Amino acid sequence: MSDSDQNSKYSSPLVSRYASAEMSSNFSNNTRFSTWRRLWLNLAIAEKQLGLSEISDEAIEEMRENLNNIDYKVAAEEEKRRRHDVMAHVHAFGLVAPKAAGIIHLGATSCYVTDNADLIIYRDALDIVIKKLVYVIDELSKFAIKYKDLPTLGFTHFQPAQLTTVGKRASLWLQDLLMDLRNLERAREDLKFRGVKGTTGTQASFMQLFHGDHDKVEELDQLVSTLSGFKESYPVAGQTYSRKVDIDLLCPLASFGASAHKIATDIRLLAHMKEIEEPFERDQIGSSAMAYKRNPMRSERVCSLSRHLMTLIGNVMQTASTQWLERTLDDSANRRITMPEAFLTADIVLTTLQNIFQGLVVYPQVISRHILQELPFMATENIIMAMVEIGESRQECHEQVRVLSHEAAYVVKHEGKENDLLERIKKTKYFEPILPKLDLLLDPSTFIGRAPQQVDSFINKHVNPALAKYEEILSNKSAAEINV
């Protein structure tokens, strides 16, 4: 197809603009239809092994040699004529493997290849997502450790609250991502194969092939599952595997979307305050009109795509809930869109998060200035306690501090000036006895509690053990790049 032809047709931006080549390839036609052929090969191998003499070694060899030799033009023409995609590809496969033409798809229903191929593709997609999530967790854990001691304003209701540290805040993000990793690992571990179940799941066609031998039919199901890389198949099925499986796959993906959206939103808020900034290339343009701008476009993209990811879970729930009896076909067109989009979107969000974390910039001086604007108010309790220690009345000290605090707050809110509470305290004779230790009472590091120790403990007890089994994957980690 020429460039002009490509540009005259709609192309999903998930693939054309954002997704990695790895995930795009996993959902490509080449992967899907070569997987169909491998499934037909696995079925023939198992059936021959269990005694079907009509399947020759030559037929199996021809199938093996042509797994990727797919003539899409022939398949498209046959599908247009037959209105059946599976039979179109059976025909195309038989043309290049003529000795196998008569036994391809023997005893199977269409869902043998469509559903089983989907499960293989979803399994491999989960592996990609888990790998990339591990990369993200690893990058963020390094960031948390680096900034575990750096005090920063904590916020509740987006109003200044007790201090925390930059690294401690990052550990909150990390904890959510660890939950996502656990959920995705569970989904990956729980995923099974549809196997060899027949048209309505009764295996009737295979009972006929094996002359009523229940043991051989059960062995066939297990053998094909093993050949296809699964420990076991779902024990029962209708024509399809239960579409509740799709819910189990998309729930952790949608949940990750919520985590990613929260993290990216936090970064956007902090970027507004100029405390933290995502990577910004030398020639990057933040605004076509305002040349000075440095918009958090990566974090905005994470939020945008995460919202899409979160909405997809409702789609698969509706599909699962409306499958009549052994199945209806109203799931098909929906799933062709929803399932790949969920994995493609998660893939994009993960790559973008890794790119953000590996270049996230912190501005300690800005953070310090913001602390100093609020710390005098937060330090009043320390000042009151210091006065009580030298014998002053708490009630009297509280009143002194209250009056000065209100005066300072008026200056900040009505005159737009800096918080001058400390200067007012220093000029008030009542507080002269504690002035020598006032700086110590205002040291930000004394307001962060156990935040640094919490980060260390969390990383050592929870993050590192979760990453330990991915040591080989992490050894091959490369920098995440985003093209646009």
Q: Is the distance from CB of 351 to CB of 132 less than 8 angstroms? A: yes
Instruction: Write down the pLDDT at residue 484.
Output: 66
pTM of the shown model = 0.90
Which parts of the chain have pLDDT scores under 70? 1-6, 280-293, 484
Please state, as a whole number, how many other Cβ atoms lie within 10 Å of the Cβ of residue 146.
15
Give burial (CB, 10 Å; 0-12/13-18/19+) of 36.
buried
Catalytic residue among 11, 16, 25, 287: 287
**Domain ranges in the chain?**
28-100, 114-194+241-366+463-475, 380-441
How high is the pLDDT of residue 276?
95
The tens digit of pLDDT for each residue in 231-282 reads: 999 999 998 999 999 999 999 999 999 999 999 999 999 999 999 999 865 4
pLDDT tens, 156-172?
Answer: 999 888 899 999 999 99
Task: Write down the pLDDT at residue 83.
Answer: 82
114-194+241-366+463-475 CATH: 1.20.200.10
The whole-angstrom separation of Cα 402 and Cα 389 is: 19
Q: How far apart are CA 349 and CA 461, in angstroms?
A: 27
**Predicted local distance difference test score (pLDDT) of residue 287:** 44
Q: Which of 53, 157, 211, 478 is catalytic?
A: 157
Do residues 100 and 63 lie in contact, with contact meaning Cβ atoms separated by under 8 Å? yes
Tokens of 457: 């403990």
What is 28-100's CATH number, 3.30.43.10, 1.10.275.10, 3.50.50.60, 3.30.70.2470?
1.10.275.10
Mark whether 157 is an active-site residue.
yes
Residue 293 dihedral angles phi and psi, to the nearest 5°:
-75, 145
Residues, the chain: 484
CATH number 1.10.40 given to 380-441: yes
